[in-house]
Amino acid sequence: MTFELRKRLAEEKGFNLIPRAMAISSSSWELPLVAVCQVTSTPDKQQNFKTCAELVREAARLGACLAFLPEAFDFIARDPEETLRLSEPLSGNLLGEYTQLARECGLWLSLGGFHERGQDWKQTQKIYNCHVILNNKGSVVATYRKTHLCDVEIPGQGPMRESNSTIPGPSLESPVSTPAGKIGLAICYDMRFPELSLALVQAGAEILTYPSAFGSVTGPAHWEVLLRARAIETQCYVVAAAQCGRHHEKRASYGHSMVVDPWGTVVARCSEGPGLCLARIDLSYLRQLRQNLPVFQHRRPDLYSSLGHPLS
């Protein structure tokens, strides 16, 4: 099926496909294809699953090897109490449904931010914001628990106190090998901390993923700028699946899911509303760029190894 035909069929269903911005040969169709899903989660977990499952199945039909879902793909609650009540362990029913979905569709899934009741749930009565990677057999191959919690007050957007219900993760996760490349795991607010992305690329990451639920004020100001900056400074692909629209009377998200290549070019972008976009991952292009512009060989950790400490 030609790209033009795929594009027309996808657009008829409300999806948005954008080819790579740079010129590539006909062999590009042999490159791994990834799908980035954009949804509007609500407190209704089963309806959210139905929406995500439809997008994942569409991604599989279009030939993707890996589909990315945003932060809070499972639900977005109205308050911390509802968040805790709706949360589940990784061994719960909801993740079991996604395990079956990955197996059914035969593709990998990046589940960008699962409200996880960890092993310390009984003691803490708090959860983790957990990024889960499933392989095409439905097995959990990696988990990352969000290390930077979003406790901010943005005028016009309302206060966010993620720590009211969530515990910060204790560590980073080593990049995981997938059919699209080695993926470094992060979540939303993590993108504001370049130290994390640099640590992941130094550990071997070729793709950084930032599943998110960005707000309506910070989104237009910072979303694309931060994603492109992370791609340029790490010379990685950046994949950012996003929540969009109004979740309930208390919260809305910016959307604009996208894929950025290692040069900083946005090569795929979702339209308004729920849907998906597709991009091909060209690791030979990534390696050539790193060879032509060898910034990691030029770094001076002797001068700025203390970066990351609080301001004095």
Whether 71 is catalytic is yes
Whether 188 is catalytic is yes
Q: How far apart are CA 137 and CA 108, in angstroms?
A: 8
- For residue 39, the cross-strand partners are 243
In the set 52, 105, 126, 146, the catalytic residue is 146
Which residues fall within 8 angstroms of residue 283, CB to CB, at 6 or more apart?
181, 206
Altogether, the residues listed in the chain come to a count of: 312
Amino acid at 246: R
In the set 37, 45, 52, 71, the catalytic residue is 71
**Cα angle, residue 22 at apex, residues 212 and 176 outer, rounded to 5°:** 45
In the set 188, 236, 244, 270, the catalytic residue is 188
Whether 52 is catalytic is no
Catalytic center residues:
71, 146, 188
